[in-house]
Structure formats: structure tokens, C-alpha cells
Amino acid sequence: MSVQEARHRELGLTDSEYERIVELLGREPNDLELAMFSLLWSEHCAYKHSRLLLRRLPTEGSRVLMGPGENAGAVSVGDSDAVAFKVESHNHPSAVEPFQGAATGVGGILRDVFALGARPVAVLDSLRFGELDSERSRYLFDHVVAGIAHYGNSIGVATVGGEVYFEEPYEHNCLVNAMCIGLARAGDLVRSAAAGPGNAVVILGASTGRDGIGGASVLASAELEAGDDKRPSVQIGDPFEEKKLMECCLELLDRGVLVALQDLGAAGLTSSSGEMAAKGGTGIDIDVDLVPLREPGMEPFEVMISESQERMLAVVEPSRLDEVLGVCERWETGAAAIGEVTDSGRIRVLRGSEVVGDMPVAALVDGCPLYELEPEEPDGWTYPNRATLAADEPRDVLLELLASPSVASKRWAFEQYDSIVGSRTVRRPEAADAAVLRLDRGGAIAVSIDGNGRRVACDPYRGTVESVLECAQNLACVGAEPLGVTNCLNFGNPEKPAVAWQLDRSAQGLADACQALGVPVVGGNVSLYNETDAGPIYPTPVIGMVGELPDPGRAGRAGLRDGDAIAVVGPFAPSLAGSELAKLRGDLGPGLPELPIDVVRAAIELVREVMRAGRLGCAHDVSDGGLACALAECAIAGGVGVRADLDSMVELRGLSGESCLFGEGPGGFVLAGERSAIEELVASVGSDGAIIIGEAGGERIELAAAEADLTVELADAERAWRSLGSRAEGVAISSEAARGIR
């Protein structure tokens, strides 16, 4: 085997893929071409193990303005506005260097949104770490949160929501998924397809350096290996540079002087130029000598694959080039014409007059083979199952569940984020089940991000369906109708049959749930190879959903008010299978109960209309920790106790008291308000759809459910629920210790 042939393996290409490249080129690639192919044919860029599955997803709808394939998806809202949104992962970089990995994850998702011409107005994050009793997990948690806060707060975009789970399978491979929401006029959105041979190709933003070489595109395309020092592969972010770049790009788009705009993300100039040319059916020439560099002496391949942050690539008509450069100069944003659009159908890399790389666009971007998965259902439960709960009394169980890091208040984290900058935030974190943002021309949008990898591990199909339903339930609680979905599919190594089975079943669950709800998938991300020698993560599809509500003043809240009557609404049939309680008892295993999607959809629509009518103020869906935790959270949020008799629900649904209190599953809501309004609701839907269970008042949480009665002082419940902060504090450690933790 030649040195060149051995080189492709080091870059992550298989022998058959290398042979395919030689066939497409009609010759062996040189070092620069091979580097470019290795990145665009990586899992992160090519989706070679997931693209066939993604074709199952419903992507069309009357509100869809931009769907999969663009920098972000966009849907129409109101008469003439658009909401652009997307979620992406920065998992492996964050596991290697948590602060910069998380910070640049936020920066990248912001660029995806303003590349469409939409102004970013909100960020949400979905995070997974190992158990909080692990020093490594506390270190990663602290630095990831700090990185998100640093970037979002500095650039002035509100972080309005998210979720954090702590589970043992994420110990060695944390997940950091970031979602961005942007607003624009529908007619002002711009696409990324290059057009017009002879038009200039302009790079905007920060100078190009060696940081990020082999970064997200490589780190996210292979399993993390213990002991490898990959910190140089993680990009370095500068939110102040991005703020200037964002304002500059939005002004250029407003002036109408850009033909196309593309973010430089994973694989840098290689992916941005290749994807723009592929979408436009054109070619592009790039002269690396014209690219502004922050480090002298960079080789052409380094320039082409650098993942330096805060950069964009634009196509500009020659007659508008001086105007574009003038706007960039005024914003103190670096800019340079580095090439031109051609009609050759090829990507050519030049060094002055010398051609150092020449590849067909079709081969580079779309020539990567797509692989059929070889799924095989695993034989039994394959994940850790550590028991940590000794309590048996219902009172003690509730307190342990409220204190469980995955259930407990995440105030310690979100208080580090600015959630109100921009003056659009109507519902802050923990005030409601979904974030609510006011629109300039009336009305509002609501946003939620959800996923429960533990339940997906129990049943990849049903668990994924539940994640979609959870998002829709959260939107219903504030009176919002879903408009579109974005997703991030976080899984282990798809070349392993058990992971392939999880991915296949999860993708089908996502497709079926979105189809049943009538909500299109407008974009997303796939993150595979999230595993180490210790094993894979839980299969974790993260769902982001955007909805519309007519009156932000009627958006539901999570807190009870003294004297409220309380009802459980929906086809809620809780089970301990896959629940937080089952996890604490070390009693996890395959299987989740089935609940038809159309039945849950009817409940979602009912709750949405009830909340829009404005007669009820409190709505909270039942999720982690079950009904007892949901009631306790409503009580804590409102600062008032709860008295509830659940015996009628136990009898009607055929439950044990314990499963009624702590069981989980889709389709359950806690609704509260004036007794007359609650009674009217129950009368309209019958006892199968709503049951009055009690009222708000006093300073205790008193729940009766057959054999499982409990009484807890509200102050004790709140103390348990807010305990995460004290356990997360004190994570600052020396750099020497940090190296040992990585």
C-alpha cells in the first residue's frame, strides 16, 4: 500500500471510499484534495449513515418557507413574517473542551439563522452529562453552561429555555445541542445557492487560522478515544466578532447586495464553497492567497479546512463589490474577494496562478456513498442500571424525585443566561412549559426543546414519539399551535447493529409522530459516533418545536394560585416503565406502554384551545417524575400548597397508587383555575378526558392515591427541588486536574 493510500485511512476514509474518489476523479487525489474529500465525506457533513432514513420525514406544509437543505428551516407566522430555526450538536468538541465547545456551538447555530437573513432573537439548549456525583460531569456541566452564557450574553441574544439531564451513559460523551430562533420578513429570506458565473466570492468576518483544523467534521465522525488530546481541534469563539459580523450581514441583506450567503461551519471553506456550488449547479474558484490569515505560512489545505469561527461566505455581483466591502469596513468586519463563481461545475483551489486542487462539485459534495444500516434489536438491556434510592415511603420518594438532578430546578444554570435581552420574552424559564416571545406586529411564538434518552433506550420508536408529543404538549400549555420541527439525532456508532436498530426505529417514530400531528420537519442535524470504549450514549433524539399563539397575554403559566381548582386532563395512563423512579431504583429495562398518537393529539388540541380562551391560567404537562412531581412543581411555582385526591383516577385508569403518583407517559396535563371553569371543562369532555382532583391552598402538598398517601411541607419540597445548585457549586478545579478528568 502506498503512502497516499495509507493517508486516507488516517483521515477517516475507508478503502472502498478512497477507490470511489479515484474513480470519480479519474486519478489519485493530491493531499489537499484528499483532505477536502475526507471532510465532506465525513459522517458529520455527508450523513452517509442517516440520509436514507431522513427521507422518511415529512418536510412539506402550507407554512414552510425553507426546508431541509438550507442553513436553517423557516416557517411563516402572521401575515408576512417568518420564523427561522434550527438545532445542531457540538457534542465531541464540548467533551474535549467544554467552554469553547459549547460557546462555538452557540456561535455556529446563530450563523445558520442569520445566514437566511433572520435576526436571531433566542437560543435554547439541550444538555446531557453523566451523573452529578461524578467530578468529570460537574466539571463539564459548569464549563458548558459558562460557555453558553459567555457567547449568548455577549452577543445579546436571549437564552430562553432548554433542558438538562444527568445519566450515566453520558459520562464519557456529553451532549451539547443548541437551538436558535430568528425573525425576518418572509419576502426577505435569502438562500445559499451560488449563482451567476463571474460573480465574486467574498469571505466575511474573522481571519482564518489553524484553530479548528480537523474540528467538528472529524471529531463528530468517529468515536472519542480516551487519552487523546484533541483540544487543538476545538474552535475558539469570539462573540464580539460575531456580533459585528451578524449586524454587517443583516445590513448587506437588507440592502439587497448579496446573491447568496453561507455560514462557514464544519469543514470551513471546503463545505461552504462546495455546498453553495452544489445547490446552484455552478463551480467556484478560490485563491487561498487572497484569504485573510491570522497566522503566516498556512498551507492551502489548512486554509481550506480550517474551522475558524465567525466567518461567512457570500456571492456578490462585481458591480456591488465595492459597496459590500464598504459596509464591511464600516462594521469593522474583515472582508475580501477570494474567488469567483464559474460555470465549470468544479471546485478549483488556486495559489495565485497555480491550481493546487481541482474536483468536480458533484463528486465532492454528493459523491459520497450512502450506507444501508444493518439493524439488529439488542438482546435485553445493555446500559448501566445503578440503584440509588432506598426510600419506600411515598413522601420520601417524592422528595428524592424532586431532588434528582434530571428533575430538579435548573435555576443554577439558567440564571447565568440573560433570558430577557431584546425585550421579547413573555415567559421566562420555569415560568411556563414553553418559552414565549412577543412578535412586533402582534401575536407571539412559543418554543420548546425536549428529549428523554432513557425512555428512547427503553423503546426507540415509542420513546421518540413521546419526545415529539412532549414538545407539542409544552406548546399547548401556553396556547400555541405547532408550525414546524427541527431535530438533532444523537446516537452511538451506526455501524454497530444495536445502534443501527435504535436509529432506524427512532427515525420512524419521528416521522410517524410528525405526520400524525401535521407538523413538518424543516431541518436539523445528525450526530453519530457518540460513544467510547465504555459504551454508547442513550439514543437521544432531541426535538425542537416552534408554535404560534394569538395573544401572549393569555400564555399559560406553570404556577398555581390560591383557591384554584385542579384537574388532570388527557388520556394519561402512567406506568413506572422507563420512569425516573425506575431509574433511581435500578429497575430499567426494555419496553414502554403504547398510547395512540391520535388520542394524545386530541388532548393537545383541547388544552391549546382551553388556554387560548383565557379562562384557565395554569397548565403544566406531566413528564419526568410523574403526576406527583408535576403537582409539586405547580405548587412551588405558585408558592401555594396542594390538596388532591387521586383515588378516582386510580380506579378509572386501573392504576396502583404508586404508578398514579410517579408513573410517566404521554398525554397528561395538570390544568387549574376558577372552579366554575374547571367544572365546565370536565362537563364538556367527560371523565375519560378530565378529572377534578383537588385544589390549591395551604402550605403542604397532600396527595391521596389508594395505598400511596403522602404529605410534604411545601418548603421541604421546594428545598429538595432547588438543591441542584448546591451540588453543582464548587466545581472549579485546577487546569492540571481538568486534564485528568478529560
* Catalytic residue set: 44, 90
Q: Which residues of 630-651 are buried (b: 16+ CB within 10 A; e: fewer)?
A: bbbbbbbbbebbbbbebeebbe
Cα 111–112–114 angle (5° rounding)? Answer: 60
Cell digits of residue 268: 470551513
Largest CA distance in the chain: 83
H helical segments located in 562-709: 580-584, 597-613, 626-638, 647-653, 657-662, 675-685
Reference 356, options 78, 627, 36, 129; nearest CA is 36
Instruction: Give DSSP secondary structure letters for 654-669.
Output: T--HHHHHH-B-SS-E
The DSSP element (H or E) to which 263 belongs, if any, is strand 260-263
Tell me the C-alpha distance between 538 and 552, whole Å.
36
Residue 605 burial by Cβ neighbours in a 10 Å radius (0-12, 13-18, 19+): middle
User: Helix, strand, or coil here: 223?
Assistant: coil
Reference 443, options 77, 65, 183; nearest CA is 77
End-to-end Cα spacing for the chain: 35
Tell me the C-alpha distance between 327 and 637, whole Å.
48
Half-sphere exposure of 495 (CA within 13 A, CB side): 9
Cell digits of residue 293: 490569515
Tell me the C-alpha distance between 201 and 340, whole Å.
5
> In this structure, are residues 450 and 474 in contact, taking their beta carbons and an 8 Å threshold?
yes
Amino acid at 130: G
> In this structure, are residues 629 and 721 in contact, taking their beta carbons and an 8 Å threshold?
no
Instruction: Give DSSP secondary structure letters for 291-306.
Output: S-BSSTT--HHHHHH-
Instruction: Give DSSP secondary structure letters for 562-588.
Output: TT-EEEEES----BSTT-HHHHHTT--
Residue whose C-alpha cell reads 464544519 in the numeric block: 266
